[in-house]
């Protein structure tokens, strides 16, 4: 029975899991999420993506990617077997999720709230965190091809959607050439290029402006 991915083509964390599926040509059914109740029935935390594998429900994008490595491996391995390299990969994955994706989601979340319920500090705090993340990544990526070293992996799956959407809410300008070059390599990667192409018809749904 093929895997089923419950996801939405515009969702950043769903992109994070689509990238490894496309990298390895893993067969799966894409089930587009409508109301979030559908996800809540599978995963009470009600966040997508959710992967179903023959009745087993796997949630959380990083765990789904580790699960794919374990149970549906392909020619690209997303977390290296060598423990120190695995640690670096997981560290970078945490940085992209916690310090790029989370602040950008906070900015977007604030945009879609009713005006009288917006968090006045969300923009300022999130932009300050994004600036610190961009600066740290600029140093980290100066001599690296991929986020955790020579090989494309889990951290790059987290980097692609988070840096793509972060650029929309808090542009980097021209201060981070190594980071820009890295984003260029991510966009040129066929798996991510395909994700972007499939998301294009939905791009108008992204809330612009503060």
Ligand X SMILES: N[C@@H](CCC(=O)N[C@@H](CS)C(=O)NCC(=O)O)C(=O)O
Residues in the site for ligand X, rule: CB under 6 A?
A: 11-13, 36, 47-48, 60-62
Contact 72, 66 (CB under 8 A): no
DSSP 19-37: HHHHHTT--EEEEE--STH
Bridge partners of 58, per DSSP, are 51
Residue nearest to ligand X (CB): 61
The CB-of-139 to ligand X minimum distance in angstroms stands at 25
Per-residue HEC secondary structure of 85-122 comes to HHHHHHHHHHHHHHHHHHHHHHHHHHHCCCHHHCCCCH
Starting from the edge strand earliest in sequence, which strands make up the sheet with 3-7, in order?
28-32, 3-7, 50-53, 56-59
CB of 40 to ligand X, least distance (A): 9
Q: Compute the least distance from the CB of residue 177 to ligand X, in Å.
A: 28
Q: Is residue 175 within 8 Å of 134, Cβ to Cβ?
A: yes
Nearer to ligand X, 36 or 91 (CB): 36
User: Please, which residue, 13 or 146, has the CB nearer to ligand X?
Assistant: 13
Residue 24: both structure tokens together: 């390895």
**196 touches 187 (CB < 8 A):** yes
C-beta closer to ligand X: residue 11 or 110: 11
**Whole-angstrom distance, CA of residue 37 vs CA of residue 40:** 5
Cβ 63 to ligand X, closest distance in Å? 8
Tell me the closest approach of the beta carbon of residue 25 to ligand X, in angstroms. 22
Of residues 39 and 148, the one with the C-beta less far from ligand X: 39
Query: Nearer to ligand X by C-beta: 78 or 176?
Result: 78
């Amino acid at each position: 029975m093929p895997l089923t991915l419950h996801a939405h083509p515009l969702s950043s964390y769903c992109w994070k899991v689509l990238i490894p599926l496309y990298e390895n040509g893993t067969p799966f059914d894409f089930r587009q999420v409508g109301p979030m109740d559908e996800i809540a029935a599978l995963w009470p935390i009600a966040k997508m993506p959710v992967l179903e594998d023959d009745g087993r429900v796997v949630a959380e994008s990083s765990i789904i990617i580790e699960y794919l490595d374990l149970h549906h491996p392909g020619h690209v391995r997303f977390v290296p077997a060598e423990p120190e390299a695995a640690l670096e990969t997981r560290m970078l994955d945490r940085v992209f999720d916690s310090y790029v994706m989370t602040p950008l989601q906070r900015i977007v979340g604030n945009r879609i709230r009713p005006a009288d319920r917006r968090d006045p500090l969300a923009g300022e705090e999130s932009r300050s965190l994004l600036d610190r993340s961009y600066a740290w990544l600029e140093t980290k990526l100066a001599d690296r091809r991929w986020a955790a070293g020579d090989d494309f992996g889990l951290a790059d799956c987290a980097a692609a959607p988070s840096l793509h959407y972060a650029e929309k809410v808090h542009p980097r300008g021209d201060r981070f050439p190594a980071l820009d070059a890295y984003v260029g390599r991510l966009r040129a990667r066929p798996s991510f290029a395909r994700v972007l192409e499939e998301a294009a018809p939905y791009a108008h749904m992204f809330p612009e402006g503060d």
